[in-house]
Structure 1
Amino acid sequence: MDQGRTLVIAVDGLDAADLADGPLTDPGSPLRDALLRHAVPLEIRTGGPSEPSPALVSLMTGASVGHTGVAMELAFDPAEPAVGGVWYHDDLRIPTLLEVARSRGAVTCALQWPATAGSGVDLCLPLVEDLRRYRDRWSMAEQTSSPRMVAEHLRHRREAGLHLSQIEPDSLVGQVSEEALSGGRVDLAMVRLTGLGRARRREGCTSSAARRALAVTVEALDRLVVAFAATEEDRIVLVPGRPLVPVELLVHPNAVLERHGLVRTDGPRLAGFRALVWPDGPRGALHVRRGESPSVGRAAMEALAEVAAHYRLRLRPVDDGVGATAQTDVIAVLEGTPGTVFGLSPTHRPLVEGDDPYYAGPRAVADPTASTTVLGSGPGLPGTRVEGGWADLGVTLAESMGLVLPAATASGMRPAALAEA
């Protein structure tokens, strides 16, 4: 490839205030000097996925979540509901920007990016969290990373006695990215930082844990940008997620389905189901086992409609959820006002207010009704403000690199007036 290099950085939990004021905007900040002072806003409209993994998969494929194979943040696995996570390339149904670039001779790098474990990315560090499949964390890291990543960046750390459980994932990503980007040409690097989003969701956006996570994020961003050393031929794209808002309501719809005999429990655990709401942050998808009679779906809809009507939720039927998973179809989606989050547990009270003394959910959740602003700079990227969805951003990014995403369903970012037409 001779289209210049591209660095895409996704930072879950980053918000507009962080980019307007704070350590990222201090004089001398590498990110400020390399991107913020002259970046063009790429507006991601409302609608589409609000959680990071499906959004980033949509970006790297140029396709909507209905086509990518990754529709939710947590992989659907009722047998192991605590595991979750979208790490594996096998989850994808269509090619990605990383694959297309590599087929054109590009050297590719993906650090903590979803759905890349087991892919052909040259330098791949997915940081899988799936201990049920692997003996220990080092086995998990080495078996899910690319051979080149293991040889050049992981093996010497293991031999030096590094304990993966004692280092922040974003700190490791910052170190590895610095080595990889300064150690030789990388044509396309897609790097995800997750610690800030985890801390702000778990403890709240103004917590001390969130402040510490922001400091780690700033350090990792500095390492990335300095090591990349962008020239006029190169592109940098900074991708925040949807804005986070304080949680006001935690909803446990499966407790309602359990009372109607559609979910079975074994103590506090899920034991089986005929219909089940799988949470996705501010949304919940109603899954019905394939082969069940239509009466099961009707019974689940009726049970959830009562809850939705009483607690200002929206129960939206969907007609494109056939084959959502190997076992189920999705027939509806539950949505609430900003600040609503859905839980999986079938044994909690149906609804728990956020200020309840027994509240045990996250403190912040993505706002699916909000837009977000991606910042981009470099050849081929728009020179004026444009808007679109996550898939549109993927198409535009590919075009800036002289590439075509073969299974894209979007047409690319466009000026606001054209996008509304």
Structure 2
Amino acid sequence: MVQRPDYERHKRKLRRNRRGGRPEQPASRRSVLGQVYFLAQPLSGWRFPPSGFSFLSLRSLRSMFLFQSLRLLRRVCAIALPGLVGCLLAQGQSARTPVIMISIDGLNPHYVLRAEDHAAGIPFLRSFLTNGTYAQSVINVVPTITFPNHVTLITGTLPEQHGIFNNMLQDPNSNLIAAPMEYGNAIRVPTLWEAAQSAGLKTASVFWPVSLGARGIDYNIPPIHTQGTPADHYLLEAVSRPDGFLASVEKQIGVYSPEEDEDDFVTRAAIAVIRGQRPYLLTVHLGNLDDAQHHSGPDSQEAFAALEKIDGQVRQIADAERAVYPDADIVIVSDHGFFPVSHVINLNAEFVRHGLITLSKTGHIASWKVFSWTGGGSAAVILHNPDDRETAEKVRQILDGLEKDPASGIAQILSKQEAKAFGGTPETEFLIDCRPGFYVGRGLTTPLITDASQKGTHGYLPVHPELQSSFFIMGPRIARNRNLGVIDMRQIAPTIAKELEARMPSATMPVLPVDR
């Protein structure tokens, strides 16, 4: 405890000094000690005049000053340190941004960029043009169908790298009964989900194509090939992860039913996941625009109505995301556009007539030398024996003859080397691209050309602007009103990885300049 000074003794010493005893302190010393006095005075429980410093030793002053300074430092740290630590942590994570990526299946960019031409009421999607960054169009991958392109969106690679070449498994002998290629654990390269999870971030997905069993997803509700029965929700619960997760979500939003509008269920599920699990990366897929364009064609009233409803659903999901993460990036992507169609080209039926495919008594393929693996508006023509050059030459002659006839619907035939540049299935001997209005069917006993059962489809080569897809991004750190022009779909995944501060070495395309 610091003792109070003896003021009377102090006064006697001062009088003695004035009579010729001990000299007064120099002005410079008084100045320094005066500073000590004024620093210590507010913190001390007692006061003494500056002249009183002369009776204290320098060691005592140092001890007193150190004691009072430590008290002051402790108080300052107690007040400032928590805020300082928070600022440092925030500064360290300032470049890492939560991301929700919503795929609107079948969204060609013209629906948003030229919405005024169609009087389409899509205010939220239109807001990306002024408040965010967007692509004029996105060059997608072959074939321009859902599964391969969604895997490219999530990996930043071509099908020849990621291994998902079609919506359906290659099955010339019909052993698999049109089995969809929906298994995420078949993806050969790292995904955005895995990259985010490796960076210590929580991930989730709702109905993203080819996510069934996918690695890197903490909370996953994958799309499934349902039977259209009320029991389908049991199957969906069985394949969702972790065990029991979907059941807990359904308690909040209702049980999944194939009779319900699927996008309504996906919207409710996505919002529940955002609020309950708070993922740092969430991928969502909405499919009604694709369904509407298959049924009624692109730019139909049904398509516009579907898009207007989706605009509201996307806004709901984005609002929920921003309520949890105000700094989140909202990303809108798509897989392909559409052509209107009226006719089907049954290439395999033509190969049957030329003896290159043999049918069983039941009408199924018994043996084959060549097979047309349809991708909608394009087809990969595959040889059973890749070294059978005699069959390859015969197939080439058949296809050349069809290409010369405008009524056949074939626009161009690409050789094996030309097809390789598109990064599709390596087994492709010839790649067929159809004329607008035609697509490749699966008929074996039909005429070459038959009427289409749908009014719109996709799958053509991505050289057609109508088949290209979309990219929009909006967030507090994203540039406003920036048009990126035409981009490559493979640039999207590394761009999202950069926002998450996650590493994707397999995605080698340049990152898009989306930040301010």
* TM-score, with length taken from structure 1: 0.83
Aligned match of 1:355: none
Matches within 5 A, 1:2-401: 2=93, 3-16=96-109, 18-19=111-112, 20-21=115-116, 24-26=121-123, 29=124, 35-46=128-139, 48-49=141-142, 50-78=144-172, 79=174, 83-120=178-215, 121-129=217-225, 137-147=232-242, 149-154=245-250, 162=255, 164-205=257-298, 209-210=302-303, 213-214=306-307, 216-229=309-322, 233-266=327-360, 267-290=362-385, 293-311=388-406, 312-319=410-417, 329-352=427-450, 359-366=451-458, 368=462, 369-370=464-465, 371-378=468-475, 384-386=482-484, 387-401=486-500
* CA spacing shift, 1:224–1:36, aligned 2, 3 Å: farther
Gaps of 5+ in 2: 1-91
* SS of structure 2 residue aligned to 1:174: helix
Q: CA deviation at 1:122?
A: 1.5
Cα distance in structure 2, aligned partners of 1:193 and 1:285 = 28
* SS of structure 1 residue aligned to 2:374: strand
* CA spacing shift, 1:103–1:152, aligned 2, 3 Å: farther
Cα distance in structure 1, aligned partners of 2:250 and 2:181 = 22
Q: Could you tell me whether the CA contact under 8 Å between 2:344 and 2:440 is conserved in 1?
A: yes
Deviations 1:312-367 (A, max 9, x none): 5211012376x977xx8211100123333111222221123xxxxxx233211236
Deviations 1:293-321 (A, max 9, x none): 33222222222222122235211012376
Q: CA deviation at 1:262?
A: 1.8
Identity %: 21
Structure 1, 138-147 or 213-222: larger mean CA deviation = 213-222
* SS of structure 2 residue aligned to 1:313: strand
Q: Could you tell me whether the CA contact under 8 Å between 2:322 and 2:328 is conserved in 1?
A: no
Q: Could you tell me whether the CA contact under 8 Å between 1:380 and 1:401 is conserved in 2?
A: no
* SS of structure 2 residue aligned to 1:229: helix
Q: CA deviation at 1:129?
A: 0.5
Q: CA deviation at 1:45?
A: 4.4
Q: Could you tell me whether the CA contact under 8 Å between 2:156 and 2:507 is conserved in 1?
A: yes
* TM-score, with length taken from structure 2: 0.69
Cα distance in structure 2, aligned partners of 1:163 and 1:181 = 18
Cα distance in structure 2, aligned partners of 1:130 and 1:53 = 17
Deviations 1:1-59 (A, max 9, x none): 94121011111133445422456534xx5x556x4541211244446332232122112
Aligned match of 1:406: 505
* CA spacing shift, 1:380–1:289, aligned 2, 3 Å: farther
Q: Could you tell me whether the CA contact under 8 Å between 2:182 and 2:211 is conserved in 1?
A: yes
* SS of structure 1 residue aligned to 2:135: strand
Larger Rg: 2
Q: CA deviation at 1:235?
A: 0.6
* SS of structure 2 residue aligned to 1:7: strand
